[in-house]
Amino acid sequence: MIRLEQVDKRYPNGHLALSGVDLVIRRGEFVFIVGPSGSGKSSLVRLLYREELPTAGEVFVDQFHVTRMRRSQVPRLRRQLGVVFQDVKLLPQRTVWHNVAFAMEVVGASSRDIAKRVPQVLELVGLGRRRDSFPHQLSGGEQQRVGIARALVNNPVYLIADEPTGNLDPDTAQDIIQLFLEINRRGATVIMATHARDLVNQVKRRVLAIDHGRIVRDELKGAYHEA
């Protein structure tokens, strides 16, 4: 379970990105976070994997008290999560295969498991043939899918995806959303910040709308725009 209590986030330059955010996301939910550009979606998501700490309020992710945990515990938190970053964040000097495998090496998976699992997820995102390419040799959408594969590879309890389909054509985006729905059915919690109106309207799951750092709407079977 993810819980945010009265969370404020003010960046060092004084910009208030989130204010008074109260939020509970239960295990197994599928949540869209929507809102205009610069409304605070990424800021919210970054609190969950503790890239940023809130300036006020508390954040809990399962047993982790994110706002109070020791620095040395952070890797344990992050291993519970699979994160697709808005800016992808691939390791530029490693191949597609290695980028995905790295996430497994980090958790100490065996070489055999890695050799078995990595091709599977690459196949899932349609990059089975590109395993030996380097990130700079991929198209924007291909890079994004490597990021998705990396997030999925450890079968995370929480999948946190920040604008994962921004560089994907509608058909590929559709494939990806079906993939997310599938792993959600198998028990994973999915949190997806997105601008993809069609996808949000199509799958009819919980929608959390943010504007100017405040949660302005929270509907269980919502749409991208207010009904």
Partner 1 sequence: MRPKTLWYFGRETGYGLWRNGWMTLASVSTVAISLFVLAFFIVLSVNLNHIATTLESEVEIRVFIHQKIPRQTELNLLKQAKGWPIVRKISFFTKSQAAHQLQSEFPDQKALLQLINQSNPLFDGYDVYAHHPSQIGVIARRFRRLPIVQSVVYEGLVAKRINRVTEVVRAVGWGIEALLALATLSIISNTIRLAVFARRREIGVMKLVGATDWFIRWPFVLEGTVLGLVGAAAADVAVNYGYRWAIRAAVAAMPFWPVAPLHLVLQHTIGVTVIMGLVIGGIGSLVAVRRFLHV
Binding site for ligand ATP (CB under 6 A): 11, 13, 15, 17, 35, 37-43, 86, 136-142, 167
Query: CA-to-CA distance for 187 and 159, rounded, in angstroms?
Result: 11
CB nearer to partner 1: give 134 or 224.
134
Q: Residue 197 binds which one of a second copy, partner 1, ligand ATP, none, with CB within 5 to 8 A depending on kind?
A: a second copy
Residues 180 and 190 sit within 8 Å (Cβ to Cβ): yes
Count the neighbouring beta carbons within 10 Å of the beta carbon of residue 8: 15
Min separation Cβ 117 and a second copy, Å: 23
- Any contact of residue 91 with partner 1 (CB under 8 A)? yes
Residues 86 and 163 sit within 8 Å (Cβ to Cβ): yes
- Any contact of residue 157 with partner 1 (CB under 8 A)? no
Tokens 């993810």, located at residue: 2
Min separation Cβ 9 and partner 1, Å: 17
Query: CA-to-CA distance for 2 and 29, rounded, in angstroms?
Result: 10
Min separation Cβ 218 and a second copy, Å: 18
Q: Residue 92 binds which one of partner 1, ligand ATP, Mg ion, none, with CB within 5 to 8 A depending on kind?
A: partner 1
Q: Which residue is nearest to Mg ion (CB)?
A: 42
- Any contact of residue 140 with Mg ion (CB under 5 A)? yes
CB nearer to partner 1: give 6 or 110.
110
Query: CA-to-CA distance for 5 and 203, rounded, in angstroms?
Result: 28
Q: Residue 29 binds which one of a second copy, ligand ATP, partner 1, none, with CB within 5 to 8 A depending on kind?
A: none
Tokens 């495998």, located at residue: 101
- Any contact of residue 170 with Mg ion (CB under 5 A)? no
CB nearer to partner 1: give 69 or 223.
69
At 107, list the tokens.
């958790």
Give bridge partners of residue 159 from the DSSP assignment. 82, 190
Distances (CA, A) of 17 to 8, 23, 33: 8, 16, 15
- Any contact of residue 150 with partner 1 (CB under 8 A)? yes
